[in-house]
Amino acid sequence: MAQQTKASMVKQKIKDWITEGTVSPGEKIYSENELVKLFQVSRHTVRQAVGDLVHEGWLYREQGAGTFVANRTNQAQIKPMRSAGKNIGVITTYISDYIFPSIIKGIESYLSSHGYSLTFACTDNDPEKEKQCLEAMLNRNIDGLIVEPTRSSSYNPNLHYYLEMEQNHIPYLMINQYYPQLNPPNIILNDEKGGFIATDHLIKLGHKKIIGLFKSDDIQGLNRMQGFIRAFRENQIPFFPEMIVTFTTEEKETGLLHKIKHLLMSKDNRPTGIICYNDEIAINVLNVLRELEIKVPEDLSIVGYDDSYLTEASEIKITSVTHPKMEMGVEAAKWIVAAVENRDNELVENRQKQYEPELVIRNSTSEVKEHHSNITHGI
């Protein structure tokens, strides 16, 4: 209750600044850090107060620029009229690297050819940044939203924004993964099958001691892990918990590489194959293997995921599971346009499209060497 009282106090003080003319319409207010120091309250309290004022039309946010005072005399700025269906928001976890430019290119190519403008934002896989992106999109009065969820394997604190969009009849579509609590329209890849065919490929080449590297804070990683486990079951090969190595968004850069090095330092217990969460991780693993003078595929086979440009980026061409990328982007754009324009009911009513992955075999995988066959399991 005390927390709510402090938030109300901060809200009222900012309202007073606006009504008394201390800050003018279009003028930037204090930063979050400055407000924390000024009012001697927690960051959470400031975020709650400012967030409420944004929703009530007193303030508005500009992505990357800050929070500004809304023009209260212009009613349209508080409650803008819906545009003629020509502004689509796109939120991804990342925007400038890996497979995302291809997805965005697919979205943009279709939308721009149909006269739509696009507003991009990325969350860096951070729920707080997702909240800011959603608020910015709603303030810009988007007509539809294509979104890649943030940390989809756990409860998302921003679900009410999506429910608000539903109430305001703003269609949204999730790609790559989705929040199961919402069961929204979505376009995804069959990641369980992807994990299975990657692992089954190595097993068919004689590998039994295979490590799987999986991201644990999104559903894609968990589904790929599920397929990994199924491959061992269906091939009736003993499975050990140590064969799975998980990592979070924060651990991707350093923690994961430390775990991989530890696994590979022991020659006696070294795996003969590694299944990677994606091609980006596969490249990182290749760098570690090069450092440890472990040859691919002679000493160890490696499989990536997404069949991105990274599979051809080094002297070792990486075997990888396909991802539709640009095709998914085009399909997402088609769906959102149909939903915004209230046409093509058959397309819109089909609330899920699932792509089936395939394996592209390159020279990072080969049959297991004889000397590995005598190595005992325990990792």
Q: 131: pLDDT confidence band, cut at 50, 70 and 90? A: very high
pLDDT of residue 275: 98
Pick the residue with more confidence: 100 or 204?
204
Average pLDDT, rounded, for the chain: 87
Q: 370: pLDDT confidence band, cut at 50, 70 and 90? A: low
> Structural domains in the chain?
2-78 (1.10.10.10), 87-188+325-355 (3.40.50.2300), 191-323+359-372 (3.40.50.2300)
**196-249: per-residue pLDDT in tens?**
999 999 999 999 999 999 999 999 999 999 999 999 999 999 988 889 999 998
> Is 75 a residue whose pLDDT tops 70?
no
**Over the chain, what HEC string results?**
CHHHHHHHHHHHHHHHHHHCCCCCCCCECCCHHHHHHHHCCCHHHHHHHHHHHHHCCCEEEECCCEEEECCCCCHHHHCCCCCCCCEEEEEECCCCCCCHHHHHHHHHHHHHHCCCEEEEEECCCCHHHHHHHHHHHHHCCCCEEEECCCCCCCCCCCHHHHHHHHHCCCCEEEECCCCCCCCCCEEEECHHHHHHHHHHHHHHCCCCCEEEEEECCCHHHHHHHHHHHHHHHHCCCCCCHHHEEEECCCCCCCHHHHHHHHHHHCCCCCCCEEECCCHHHHHHHHHHHHHCCCCCCCCCEEEEEECCHHHHCCCCCCEEEECCCHHHHHHHHHHHHHHHCCCCHHHHHCCEEEECCCEECCCCCCCCCHHHCCCCCCC
pLDDT of residue 77: 35
Pick the residue with more confidence: 62 or 308?
308
pLDDT of residue 1: 37
